[in-house]
Structure 1
Amino acid sequence: MKERCKYCEGSGKKIGLDVCPTCNGYGVKTFQLDAKTQVYKGKVKGPGQSCKTCEGTGKIRVTTDCDCDDGWRYLCELCKNNTDSNNLLCRKCFQDPVIYELRYPFDKSVLERRAVLGNVANIQGSTAIISVADIQGRLKLAQVPKGTFVKSGDKIPVSLSSTSSNGRIQNDFVYVRASNYKIQTIRSKNIPLSPSFEKIIKNEVNEGFIIRANAEIISIKQTSGPTLFRLVDEFGNNVVGVGFIEAGQRAFPHIHEGVIVEVAGHYNIHQGQTQIDLREILALSDEMSEQFKIKVGKRLQEKTKAPDIPFSIKSEIFDTLRPQFQAVAERIRQSVFTGQNIIIKYYHPSVDATCASIVLELAILDLLRSKSSLSKTSLRKYPERMNYYEFGDASRDIVSFLEEQSRAGGSTELPLLILIDLGSSEENNLTFDLLSTYDVETVILDNHLIGETMKDKKYFINPLLASNSDEYNISVGMLAFELGRIISSNPESYTKGLQHIPVISGLAEKVSQINSPDSEIGQYLSFVKDSYTLEKLEEMMLAIDYQTFFLRTYTDGGILLAELLGLGVSPTVVDHLVPRLAKEAKFASESAIKPTLVHADTSNLNTAEGGSEIMVTKIDFDLTPRTGYPNPSKTTEIIHEQYVIENQGKIVITLGIGHDYVLIHSSGVKFNLDSIIENIKVKIPSAGVIQGSGHGRIGFVRFFAPFKKDVLEHMLSEFAVLSN
């Protein structure tokens, strides 16, 4: 390395001062010692004559050869001390070559006198942007020796050659031609590595405190000003790190989401929010990153472990399902603490599913808002129009998930899916195959009949896993309520004000034993008997059913449905709007039932000898006038309930028959819809049964319209043997 000699300013000659040979440094030519003339220290006092050679100064300017090489000095590439023109390094650095890796905080004078390790932050045409801790500058790629390739992210030896300022500071680096060097890390001040961000989060230190800690980059957001890095330490504490070069320019471009790093910077508070003014971000080695992840994993396991709290009611089924509740709760808590997005999908026309989605959402939001969680987690809730997760909807969801992941640079995890009241039988097999292909994990809450392939699901809660009883005692809303208590950061606070919702969901699902104080719904009802009458809870159920019909699948209802459930701040909603909607729902139902009954055909089904009598009602919706609320499914349910009341003790089956579908409601007997569908596929393959779902008392089958008669006849033959 060579530079212009600063002593001769590149001229090769040095100009200095010497004693005047004429006056010998006294400044005067002659000495006259009389009353008027005196000489004092070479200066004339009074009349006298100054030395013309030095003009009375006693010194003259002389020019000598500089000890440089014709105006140039050759410096050691590493320490910048003088060396011979033939050598890149001085003798000391030749014997022990060392490159400094500067760590924040450091004295810039070190950078000015030593070769350092620089990080190639970016390549811009013929220039490389070099980052040394929090200092950035330019390196002309033409200086790099031939055969040496420099790319973004590389660490290369550089030296600061100049610093200019024309409105802003501009640092210029040169490439250091050194090899086989050792790297020595130095700081001007020793800053201990903090185990977490806890000190600054709790404001235990003053602003300006320099913090150094290991963390994971959870997200990076480029604003019109600085770059925002969300940092999470091994304890799960998260803060925002702010990096700034220029407005809108990406700081630390070599750092990406998901990388484990060591950060250093100043703690400050901006607009009430704790943040770190980042001066340095260094990616940790693979070994150190793995150690960090192991520590995070252990602490995450401790945090996500579900509390062992008792259920709010006594239930043998709940007690049997305790392992499933714990596993599902811990999986959801894990998503919250790691910042994984969560999406809730639920069966829209079901009041039971709607109630379940609301109480589960509140539990997750409660945990999200707690101090120990990551605010990065996004919770979204979407209604599904069918009572199973359609393959088409799943396909569109996968596309959306992958596009979001791509926009985030591929570092974000795909969301956790929570499916509520969307079936437990074989109709979801293809959908689950698609989800598993892309490693999308699912949590399932349901109370329908369980298909063989569903029994091995890892995160699956269904009361039929614990009991094969014909009694239908537990709604999905009850499952979600108990699960929410385990997920919530404060179960007691969460439970308060929500205990009536399991009752509403149970009423909507027509669970049995409502009059038994020992049944599940009876116990829930006892909790709220002083706050709500049974009639009021039925009104709320009808209001939710009526309102969701008009919301359709465009929205989950949000605050509106929460208000109808008494979870809002305005009592007028429960006192005035709920009765109004319930009244409208009853009137609309009565108005729809009358013309529908005209096209209802009731007959007794011929059963095998010794079998119980089965009353079958067929409702042809192709002939009934189109109405708004209720839909054909709800209409079939209302008519079925009416026939059950009128025919106590009998087996009652009601079929709502549309253009290419059949809705099934039964009382007094259970049916296996999966078995019926499989038999139809075998015996009437051309019927093209493409959809079907349900549990032991309610079902739905869709087929090709021309085969409606054949499908109905086969279904009736299947029902005929149920009474045996």
Structure 2
Amino acid sequence: MGTCIICGTPVDGEICGSHEEDVVFEFHGSSPSQLTPSRYYRGTVDGYADFGVFVDIGDHVTGLLHRSELDQRLESLDWEPADDVYVQVLEVRDNGNVDLGWSIRQREREFRGKLIDTGDDEVRPEAFEDGTEDGAGTGTASEPNDAPAETHEAGDLQAAADDAGTTGPNASDTVSGGSGSVATETAAASKPAADDATDAEPDAEPALKRTTIDAIGNQVGSVVRLEGEITGVRQTSGPTVFELRDESGTVECAAFEEAGVRAYPAVEVDDIVALEGEVERHYGDLQIETESLEVLDGEDRETVVDRLENAIEREARPAEIELLADHDAVGAVEDDIADAATTIRRAVMEARPVVVRHGATADGYVAGAAIERAVLPLIREKHTREDAVYHYFERRPLDGRVYDMDAATSDVTSMLEARDRHGEQLPLVVLVDAGSTVESVDGYDLLSLYDAESIVIDDSRADEGIVDAVSAAVAPSLADVDVSDVTSTALGANVAAHVNDDVRSDLEHLPAVSYWEDAPDAYVDLATDAGYDETAVSERREAVALEAYYQSYKDKRELVIDLLFGDGEASRPRDGDLAAHVSEQFRAKLETELETARENATVRGRDGVTVALLDTDAFTHRYNFPTTVLLLDELHRRERDRAEPPVVTLGVGEDELHVRTTGAVNVRDLGESIADRVPDAGVHVVGGADGHVEFLPGERDAVREAAIEALVETLA
């Protein structure tokens, strides 16, 4: 009869049943059948296979740690042959094969005790070394000439164990937990006191093996070593918080000097470091309590840099391009879709915020929501903070389809403030349904001065000048294909599907939602297969168009999610479907304004061209829904259906002119023609070939007539 080395309970052996998994065993048997399932054993790495790692348990038994048992990717393990590792024996098969399981404890001190499994019995290490196997801990030598065991005061031993921590390597070797009894008590006088002190010292602790951030969820309470890049530093009123990124994710690491004082002041963003600390949960989030933080240089630094870059290259680029549907205009930019998806995925992996800017239209909102739908789960996967999605992703609607200096200045101000106040990295700015013309180049240039990346995804007729201004451009017009049947959502949803294939099925109905008319059959079929009939698609388009107008500068994330994806309870209000309810308001408001516009539009025929002219200052409620653009779009569809083409619908305001035609018209060419006819009107075009004309209010009448003349010449 003995006592449990953990709790002191009387047992037959050295460990009670409730603490058997708290002890690590060293196997000295000769047969797999002598192993005990559920126990943890120390082993050494024998070699790798495609399906796992072979581990030697003692000198005579080898087991397989299958890759399915790992809590990280097999290829991310940094174990080398002959490395000590700790594994659990799951099963010993009849044929002698040994199935092993993963242990989150990969150091001896992380176990509460250690025993020797001789194959026939378990004994304490000191008894085994002395040649005894009775496990009683008497210290009696098996040979007369063996050196006697030491005597220690129980208090001294307990203090040593406390200094090493409750999981210290020698705490359970020398002290019986619970009872506090000393493991070896006899023959003290036969050894000098100096030898006692020397022998009482624990063995030197082996260096911590590196772990990865995606594996620390199972290591709360353990001390781990991480290697990676500092991606953020912020000083709180208490500790300094470092954000550390490795090849698998990002975690916050708190380091305390004293309240409000910067810890490790030499460590900055972009430094490559090795960090050791204890894994904790802080308000539900995983966090490392930093014990040491070292900036790496030379070969050590390059090793980590190469590891990070290889991981990004391996994970960021889509393995293959599989479009949501067969669509020529989208197929023409497959490579650009891959580049855009890769750039977005890299930003998430590098812990850079992603800022999506899109037009405040139905197409802009739906396209932006598609990117959001793909990126948010990746951020949750790569970051341990529960609120990471609110720190690393932003969707900000634009006033118009140009990324002008006003928008760029706002973004630069925000990102510099975040960098200076919170130590954040500079963001990736993604322009969706906007930003593909030269009017946006100045905005991109301002971002690039701070090394902030940008990409553009737009269905407009783009200008070649933006190609060098952004990291990636998904714009089919640059591939010389017809863009009349493509929307920004058709492009954005395909990019999103390659950013995160897990959400592909969520995106399949979105392209159809973005078409006001003549949606390609492939997208209609895709939406139908996803459970959205023509009515459901139309209701979502109209509902988003209405909500895009109100608080147009806000993302309205939850509301848009409810409208497009139906994730929340709000999508099922008491009086029916949310999208159906909001779309009714859309139609009522649009019809009211449209009736007024049609009553006051002037329709004239000229050289075979029907021109519908609306004074948008006099006969629209400019500060009520719908927007001028949305009203003109619908007015043009109605006039087009009533008259033989060509039909022109012209909306002229105080200093803006918008045009819709049944034939192809390049607004930039139109602007040049107007400027030639009215050279003092200060005419310029905003938004490129698909944009609008701006002019001086005093030349309004002259500009209107010059526009009609130029359009008739082009279309007649």
TM-score, normalising length from structure 1? 0.65
Pair 524,614 (structure 1): closer, same or farther in 2 beyond 3 Å: farther
Superposed CA deviations along residues 347-380 of structure 1, whole A, max 9, x for unmatched, are 11x1011111111101011211225899586101
Q: CA deviation at 1:336?
A: 0.1
Q: CA deviation at 1:405?
A: 2.4
Contact 2:227–2:274, Cα closer than 8 Å, also in 1: yes
Superposed CA deviations along residues 309-329 of structure 1, whole A, max 9, x for unmatched, are 411212233332111011000
Contact 1:193–1:213, Cα closer than 8 Å, also in 2: no
**2:469 is equivalent to residue 460 of structure 1:** no
Provide the residue aligned with 1:192 in structure 2: 207
3-state SS in 2 of match to 1:575 = coil
**2:510 is equivalent to residue 501 of structure 1:** yes
Provide the residue aligned with 1:562 in structure 2: 561
Choose the corresponding residue for 1:703, options 692, 695, 698: 695
Superposed CA deviations along residues 35-56 of structure 1, whole A, max 9, x for unmatched, are xxxxxxxxxxxxxxxxxxxxxx
Provide the residue aligned with 1:360 in structure 2: 371
User: Which structure: larger Rg?
Assistant: 1
Q: CA deviation at 1:546?
A: 1.8
- 1:664-679 aligned at under 5 Å gives the runs 664-667=659-662, 669-679=663-673
3-state SS in 1 of match to 2:314 = helix
Superposed CA deviations along residues 692-721 of structure 1, whole A, max 9, x for unmatched, are 22555xx42111111222322332232123
**2:408 is equivalent to residue 407 of structure 1:** no
Superposed CA deviations along residues 524-566 of structure 1, whole A, max 9, x for unmatched, are 34424xx33312321222222222222232x122211221224
Choose the corresponding residue for 1:305, options 314, 317, 340: 317
Provide the residue aligned with 1:582 in structure 2: 583
- 1: CA distance, partners of 2:308 / 2:669: 47
Shifted more, 578-587 versus 477-486: the winner is: 578-587
Q: CA deviation at 1:418?
A: 0.7
**2:588 is equivalent to residue 592 of structure 1:** no
Pair 521,466 (structure 1): closer, same or farther in 2 beyond 3 Å: farther
Choose the corresponding residue for 1:634, options 630, 647, 651: 630
Pair 454,215 (structure 1): closer, same or farther in 2 beyond 3 Å: closer
Provide the residue aligned with 1:542 in structure 2: 542
Superposed CA deviations along residues 221-274 of structure 1, whole A, max 9, x for unmatched, are 3344433333233x2343443323444443333333332223334455566654
Pair 681,423 (structure 1): closer, same or farther in 2 beyond 3 Å: farther
Q: CA deviation at 1:201?
A: 1.2
Contact 1:236–1:372, Cα closer than 8 Å, also in 2: no
- 1:513-524 aligned at under 5 Å gives the runs 514=519, 517=521, 520-524=522-526
**2:430 is equivalent to residue 418 of structure 1:** yes
- 1:49-448 aligned at under 5 Å gives the runs 189-192=204-207, 194-197=209-212, 201=216, 203=218, 207-209=221-223, 211-233=224-246, 235-267=247-279, 273-286=285-298, 288-348=300-360, 350-371=361-382, 375=388, 378-408=392-422, 412-448=424-460
Report the residue type matching 1:651 in the other structure. P
Report the residue type matching 1:622 in the other structure. D
Which ranges in structure 1 are unaligned for 5 or more consecutive residues? 1-104, 106-186, 607-612
Provide the residue aligned with 2:158 in structure 1: none
Contact 1:345–1:381, Cα closer than 8 Å, also in 2: yes
Contact 1:352–1:475, Cα closer than 8 Å, also in 2: yes
Q: CA deviation at 1:680?
A: 4.0
3-state SS in 1 of match to 2:560 = helix
3-state SS in 1 of match to 2:687 = strand
Pair 706,567 (structure 1): closer, same or farther in 2 beyond 3 Å: same
3-state SS in 1 of match to 2:568 = coil
Pair 616,327 (structure 1): closer, same or farther in 2 beyond 3 Å: same
Superposed CA deviations along residues 392-413 of structure 1, whole A, max 9, x for unmatched, are 222232233223323346xx43
* Residue identity (%): 23
Report the residue type matching 2:580 in the other structure. P
3-state SS in 2 of match to 1:686 = coil
- 1: CA distance, partners of 2:503 / 2:288: 34
Q: CA deviation at 1:452?
A: 3.1
Report the residue type matching 2:612 in the other structure. T
Q: CA deviation at 1:504?
A: 1.0
3-state SS in 2 of match to 1:358 = helix
3-state SS in 1 of match to 2:550 = helix
Q: CA deviation at 1:333?
A: 0.3
- 1: CA distance, partners of 2:504 / 2:392: 23
Pair 333,646 (structure 1): closer, same or farther in 2 beyond 3 Å: same
- 2: CA distance, partners of 1:545 / 1:465: 28
Contact 2:273–2:294, Cα closer than 8 Å, also in 1: yes
Pair 389,220 (structure 1): closer, same or farther in 2 beyond 3 Å: closer
Q: CA deviation at 1:496?
A: 2.7
Contact 1:266–1:277, Cα closer than 8 Å, also in 2: yes
- 1: CA distance, partners of 2:395 / 2:227: 35
Identify, as 1 or 2, the structure richer in helix. Answer: 2
Q: CA deviation at 1:460?
A: 0.8
- 1: CA distance, partners of 2:462 / 2:214: 51
Q: CA deviation at 1:494?
A: 1.0
Contact 1:427–1:691, Cα closer than 8 Å, also in 2: no
Choose the corresponding residue for 2:655, options 660, 663, 666: 660
Pair 398,651 (structure 1): closer, same or farther in 2 beyond 3 Å: same
- 2: CA distance, partners of 1:602 / 1:540: 33
Pair 538,208 (structure 1): closer, same or farther in 2 beyond 3 Å: closer
- 1: CA distance, partners of 2:258 / 2:538: 61
3-state SS in 2 of match to 1:220 = strand
- 2: CA distance, partners of 1:206 / 1:717: 75
| RMSD of aligned alpha carbons | 3.0
3-state SS in 1 of match to 2:254 = strand
Q: CA deviation at 1:455?
A: 4.6
Which ranges in structure 2 are unaligned for 5 or more consecutive residues? 1-108, 110-201
- 2: CA distance, partners of 1:407 / 1:271: 22
Contact 1:337–1:372, Cα closer than 8 Å, also in 2: no
Pair 642,675 (structure 1): closer, same or farther in 2 beyond 3 Å: same
**2:681 is equivalent to residue 687 of structure 1:** yes
Contact 2:670–2:707, Cα closer than 8 Å, also in 1: yes
Aligned residues: 510
Pair 260,527 (structure 1): closer, same or farther in 2 beyond 3 Å: same
Contact 1:337–1:373, Cα closer than 8 Å, also in 2: no
Q: CA deviation at 1:658?
A: 0.6
Contact 2:217–2:286, Cα closer than 8 Å, also in 1: no
3-state SS in 2 of match to 1:548 = helix
Pair 429,716 (structure 1): closer, same or farther in 2 beyond 3 Å: farther
- 2: CA distance, partners of 1:269 / 1:625: 57
Contact 1:506–1:521, Cα closer than 8 Å, also in 2: no
Pair 191,325 (structure 1): closer, same or farther in 2 beyond 3 Å: same
Q: CA deviation at 1:459?
A: 0.7
Pair 213,496 (structure 1): closer, same or farther in 2 beyond 3 Å: closer
Q: CA deviation at 1:666?
A: 1.2
Provide the residue aligned with 1:47 in structure 2: none
Pair 277,299 (structure 1): closer, same or farther in 2 beyond 3 Å: same
